[in-house]
């Protein structure tokens, strides 16, 4: 039986806490989610008023819900928001009344091909109301009148998002983004939030080279709002990663940035390959999560997306089966480990300049060969030094060296450290 890591246990516990909350693109569910994340990390929370122009969009009205149900003639709730927040169409406007099943059907959403599951459905920008339920429950409802009630508000308010910054040695930034707008969906939403949170904590334990900015925002409109409000910071963003679907049992999937050859794309490909984890690398498509906003042509940021089973790729996706049983501590711990490995490479991938470029410098008299004595990888470490010296022309980074030489990045980085300390290379 696998031994569950402590970070895995803690991330799962965070998912458990967040799971019952009813989130949407605005509202108190988002604030409650950020309040809990704020117990793990200091967050800067932003409230953007309804009606604020954000790029080609406008911040919508704020939605909140207290209760919703459909009750039969005996007063029994046959569909109940209190039992699952997926039972209500997201952004449903208020309704109260009685109507026959024939009329009610137009407002009911099911999955005929998955008759035991409740779908997740929303209607953010077309005011309406509705309920979601299992097809087998709908099939069992007798004809007759039903009481229908949605106790919600849709009014001017705010869109809420939050940021956490891990200071680096340089102001150049890496953004890590996750969406906080889904209700009780454990993998598509909450696992990404948990991995992002514990990644931020892990980065804070060392002194990273880059400044890391973590963005917790509603999908699409949240990322668009962040981009609109941070135009002056965009030129600082060197790399980025969107995290989602981070806790299921599938193998890891990396989706490249729109550029296709951004440094984060190369780093993620290198780490996944050399780790020998089962994985897939996919090309960019303008559909999916918020990488499509960060990679839109006007910004063209080098932002990729890391998931386990990707967007819409598992049968539980956007259904009531995306529950706490679908995610595991081990899977989240593995996703976190890959992120940490990738950012360690990103942070150390420097370009160096050889300070003794005319012929091969004498390494022995500088004690560099002696320093390798007794190592099991002496020959590999020696070759790494020679490769670093050869490619330290100010044009090649250490990842270039590792790839061309066919050597582990850590070995190349250690060689670079030794050569720098000996005064043979400089950034």
- Give the residue numbers of the binding site for Zn(2+): 182, 188, 318
E-only strand ranges, 198-342: 211-217, 237-243, 252-255, 279-282, 303-307
Tokens standing for 72? 């039969």
Report helix, strand or coil for 351: strand
Strand order in the sheet with 77-80: 77-80, 62-71, 145-155, 95-100
Q: Tell which residue, 53, 60, 35, has the closest CA to residue 45.
A: 35
Chain centroid, CA 23 distance in Å: 16
Pairing of strands 237-243, 303-307: parallel
Query: How many residues can be counted in the chain?
Result: 427
* Rounded Cα gap, residues 237 and 299, in angstroms: 10
**Hey, which residues does 95 pair with through a beta bridge?**
150
Exposure letters 218-254 (e unless 16+ CB within 10 A, then b): bbbbbbbbbbbeeeeeeebbbbbbbbbbbbbebebbb
Tokens standing for 343? 């950012």
**Hey, which residues does 243 pair with through a beta bridge?**
306
* Rounded Cα gap, residues 375 and 124, in angstroms: 61
Can you say which residues are annotated as belonging to the binding site?
A: 182, 188, 318
* Rounded Cα gap, residues 331 and 321, in angstroms: 17
């Amino acid at each position: 039986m696998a031994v569950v890591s402590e970070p895995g246990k803690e991330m799962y516990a965070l998912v458990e806490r967040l799971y019952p909350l009813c989130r949407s693109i605005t509202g108190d569910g988002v604030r409650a989610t950020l309040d809990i994340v704020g117990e793990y990390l200091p967050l800067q929370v932003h409230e953007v008023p309804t009606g604020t122009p954000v790029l080609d969009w406008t911040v919508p009205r704020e939605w909140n819900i207290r209760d919703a149900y459909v009750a039969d003639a005996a007063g029994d709730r046959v569909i109940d928001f209190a039992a699952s927040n997926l039972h209500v169409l997201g952004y449903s406007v208020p309704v109260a009344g009685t109507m026959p099943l024939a009329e009610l059907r137009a407002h009911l959403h099911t999955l005929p091909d998955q008759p035991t599951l409740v779908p997740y459905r929303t209607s953010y920008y077309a005011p309406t109301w509705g309920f979601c339920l299992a097809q087998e429950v709908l099939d069992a409802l007798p004809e007759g009148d039903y009481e229908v009630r949605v106790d919600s508000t849709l009014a001017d308010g705010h869109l809420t998002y939050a940021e956490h910054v891990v200071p680096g040695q340089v102001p150049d930034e890496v953004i890590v983004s996750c969406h906080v707008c889904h209700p009780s969906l454990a993998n598509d939403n909450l696992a990404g939030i948990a991995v992002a949170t514990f990644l931020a904590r892990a980065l804070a334990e060392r002194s990273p080279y880059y400044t890391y900015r973590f963005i917790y925002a509603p999908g699409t409109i949240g990322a668009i709002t962040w981009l609109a409000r941070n135009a002056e910071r965009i030129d600082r963003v060197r790399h980025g990663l969107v995290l989602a679907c981070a806790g299921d049992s599938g193998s890891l999937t990396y989706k490249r940035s729109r550029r296709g050859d951004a440094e984060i794309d190369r780093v993620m490909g290198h780490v996944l390959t050399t780790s020998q984890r089962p994985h897939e690398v996919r090309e960019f498509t303008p559909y999916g999560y918020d990488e499509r906003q960060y990679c839109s042509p006007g910004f063209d940021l080098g932002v990729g997306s890391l998931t386990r089973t990707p967007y819409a790729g598992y049968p539980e996706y956007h259904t009531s089966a995306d529950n706490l049983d679908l995610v595991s501590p081990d899977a989240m711990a593995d996703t976190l480990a890959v992120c940490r490995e990738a950012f360690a490479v990103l942070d150390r991938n420097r370009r160096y300049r050889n300070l003794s470029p005319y012929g091969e410098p004498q390494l022995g008299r500088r004690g560099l060969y002696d320093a390798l004595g007794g190592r099991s990888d002496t020959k590999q470490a020696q070759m790494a030094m020679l490769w670093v010296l050869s490619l330290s022309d100010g044009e090649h980074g250490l990842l270039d060296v590792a790839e061309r030489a066919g050597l582990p990045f850590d070995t190349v980085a250690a060689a670079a450290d030794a050569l720098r300390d000996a005064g043979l290379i400089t950034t």
